[in-house]
Amino acid sequence: MLVMELFVMLLNVIKETALAQVEMARKYRFGEAYRPLDPKKVLYVLTVPALWDDEVNIFYKKKSGVSIFFKTMRECGQMCGMHHIEICFEPIAVTFAVISHSHSKDIDDTKKLQFFEDDQVVLLDMGRSTIDAACLKFLKDGIMSEIHHRDELKIGSTAVDQAFEDLLSDIFGDSAIHDFQEKFRIKQKFNPQAWLQQRNEFWRAKNTLCDKESWNVRVATKFKSYLKSTLGSAEAVEEKFQTYSKINDKPKSGGKKNKHCAHFNFFVIFFMLELSYEAWLFLHKRVLDNICDFVSKLLDHERVNPRVLIVTGGFSNCPYIVPRLQKFLSEREKPIKIYRPSNPHESVVLGSVKWAINYKNLSPLRAPLTLGWCVDQVWNPGDPDDDHKVSSFDSPTGYIRKRFFNTIIRRDEKFENGEERKKEYTIPRQQKSVEFELYKSEHKHGMQYCDDKSKCQLLKKFEMYFENPFSEQITFEINIILKNDRVQLSYRHPETGHRGFAQVKFEDGNVEDVKSQKLDIEYKNILVFLFDSVRSIKKNHIEEILKNILMNEDKLLKLNQKQDKGNSVVIFKEEFYLCFKHLIKEIY
């Protein structure tokens, strides 16, 4: 309970601060026409890194950690008056900001980004401790979709800070920084984090770097005093720096200089440490190498073929990143352009606003689970080459992926009550029957195969039979209707042409074999489905409709018994639907 109370306090501070700023701006803009905002119509957007799901699961020590967090967050939000809260992944938000910025009238036409349908972009959001990536494709009307799951490099600008500390350890000994911290922790309890002052000095220098020039780092007062007392004098400190610089500037046995610390000066009067361009580049070497490797793996993915690489985030202001990436991209077989907005450090905040604007409404309905079909999908070069890859004459590549998890809706995804989604499926040739297995998962991402029981479980299995197997593979369509607590399915049998219906509730338990279910269970399912379709018209007639249908139940069952066993369920539903339709006409 203490955690929830703390969470409510934090959200309340966020809410009050944000609303105060927004209301102040609105008063200034609208003047006498100003009217206060309706708190129930305010959308709050919280941004998180690309692989935030995994971090939350680790924190909760459960695979469903994100689901728990979302539930907790919304409960706390309701307590403090935040009626609508959304989680937005930072690289996705940044994309909205970059695209919007590129369309600005203040941007030179030669620098604007123009995208058309099927164009792709790869975006890197570079921060202090992570570099997040999003691979997106443009669809119709400017809509974007992910072509590759969000990725993350667990390294950022702090790697440069660590490289500087390693450099000081090389000069003054491995224990120098540790001994300095211990000394001030014991003698000055009021300032246990004295080393942070030196870190901040390096941070200021790092964030004001000039391209291809040396740059100074100020030595903090406390660290300066510690070095003087340890080595005896300021001159001894200077000598230590210069000795290290001369050693590293000498040619190695191979004849080449170790240039990473060339021109390494220390000024006693101002206690400034001058690092050459080569030295700064050396401090950035590890993170630059990691970024290039990371981008290379993204671009080598079979489905990723971008027109441009976009770099944003505070760390992208580093003068070494864009030139290094430009050189790397120019050496590839298919070179692509690189683009950085004028204010990359503001992209996440601006993108969150643009992302929120794209919400047409504030629907309260969310999928409690991820749902997906078990299908055999065409294998493409670049897909996992594992046990699920099998030969197939019906595939253009000669292989398919067995039991692939084909997502219908992801956990926590918003939807409108009654929203329809269509899926097309291919029925292999010479099949006497096909099975459709509906799976559920508490995970939002990462489900590849349906036989991975650690990530997904069977929710329900449907079977379809054919009297005359097809000589060629055919496709048929299933309409998926999303309701507040269930999924309703509507399809037309490809052989008989009869329409079939079924439904599954989100909270239903696992069903290992639908054949063990009796027909009356299917009858009840379709009964609920049909009542839902008229409940919104006239609720007073529901009891009358139910009475009439039950009176005709024997007739419907007799019709069903005359049909072939394989098609019994489908035919029964079709006759039931026609009877129900006739009853509705009589009532209205």
Give the tens place of pLDDT for each residue, 194-234.
788 888 888 888 888 887 778 888 888 888 888 888 888 88
Instruction: Give the CA distances from residue 414 to residues 35, 185, 443, in Å, rounded to whole numbers and listed in that order.
Output: 29, 51, 16
Whole-number pLDDT of residue 479: 82
The yes-or-no verdict on residue 37 having pLDDT over 80 is yes
Please indicate, yes or no, if residue 99 is contained in any of the structural domains. no
Domain identity same for 493 and 389: yes
Task: Tell me the per-residue pLDDT of 445-484, one tens digit each, with 9 for 90 and over.
Answer: 778 888 888 888 888 887 777 778 888 878 878 888 887 6
**Distance, CA of 148 to CA of 133 (rounded, Å):** 10
Residue 203 CA neighbour count, 13 Å, CB half: 11
Please indicate, yes or no, if residue 557 is contained in any of the structural domains. yes
Task: Tell me the per-residue pLDDT of 141-162, one tens digit each, with 9 for 90 and over.
Answer: 667 777 776 677 888 899 999 9
Percent of the chain clearing pLDDT 70 (strictly above): 71
Whole-number pLDDT of residue 238: 81
134-138, 188-192, 280-284, 513-517, range with the lowest pLDDT: 513-517
Under the banding of pLDDT at 50, 70 and 90, the label for residue 62 is low
Please indicate, yes or no, if residue 176 is contained in any of the structural domains. yes
Task: Tell me the per-residue pLDDT of 305-353, one tens digit each, with 9 for 90 and over.
Answer: 898 898 988 898 899 999 999 999 999 988 898 988 877 877 887 877 7
Mean pLDDT of the chain: 74
Among candidates 513, 483, 73, which has minimal Cα distance to 521? 513
State the average pLDDT over residues 557-582: 45
Whole-number pLDDT of residue 253: 43
Whole-number pLDDT of residue 97: 79
Domain identity same for 558 and 471: no
96-105, 374-383, 446-455, 456-465, range with the lowest pLDDT: 96-105
The most confident of 70-79, 127-136, 152-161, 291-300, by mean pLDDT: 291-300
Domain identity same for 465 and 529: no
CATH code of the domain containing 410: 2.60.34.10
Instruction: Give the CA distances from residue 319 to residues 162, 359, 378, 422, 476, in Å, rounded to whole numbers and listed in that order.
Output: 19, 36, 44, 48, 55
According to DSSP H, which parts of 269-346 are helical? Answer: 277-300, 321-330
Can you give the residue range of the structural domain that contains 555? 518-588
Please indicate, yes or no, if residue 543 is contained in any of the structural domains. yes
Whole-number pLDDT of residue 260: 46
Kindly give the pairing relationship between strand 84-89 and strand 43-48.
parallel
The yes-or-no verdict on residue 133 having pLDDT over 80 is yes
Domain identity same for 76 and 194: no
321-330, 402-411, 533-542, range with the lowest pLDDT: 533-542
State the average pLDDT over residues 105-119: 70
Whole-number pLDDT of residue 273: 82
The yes-or-no verdict on residue 80 having pLDDT over 60 is yes
State the average pLDDT over residues 394-423: 82
Among the candidates 516, 551, 573, a domain finishes at: 516
Domain identity same for 477 and 369: yes
Whole-number pLDDT of residue 529: 47
Whole-number pLDDT of residue 54: 60
Domain identity same for 503 and 530: no
Domain identity same for 548 and 480: no
174-178, 357-361, 440-444, 459-463, range with the lowest pLDDT: 357-361
Please indicate, yes or no, if residue 446 is contained in any of the structural domains. yes
Under the banding of pLDDT at 50, 70 and 90, the label for residue 515 is very low
Domain identity same for 568 and 506: no
Whole-number pLDDT of residue 287: 93
Domain identity same for 425 and 476: yes
The yes-or-no verdict on residue 427 having pLDDT over 90 is no
Whole-number pLDDT of residue 291: 94
Whole-number pLDDT of residue 516: 29
The yes-or-no verdict on residue 263 having pLDDT over 80 is no
Beta-strand ranges (E) seen in 466-563 are 474-482, 486-492, 499-505
Please enumerate, as own/partner, the contacts of 190-198 that have beta carbons within 8 Å and a separation of 24 or more: 194/220, 194/222, 194/223, 195/223, 197/221, 197/222, 197/223, 198/222, 198/223
Domain identity same for 486 and 388: yes
Query: Environment class of residue 355 by beta-carbon count within 10 Å: exposed (0-12), middle (13-18) or buried (19+)?
Result: buried
**Distance, CA of 370 to CA of 452 (rounded, Å):** 14
The yes-or-no verdict on residue 105 having pLDDT over 70 is no
Whole-number pLDDT of residue 296: 92
Instruction: State the total domains in the chain.
Output: 4
Whole-number pLDDT of residue 327: 92
Kindly give the pairing relationship between strand 419-427 and strand 474-482.
antiparallel
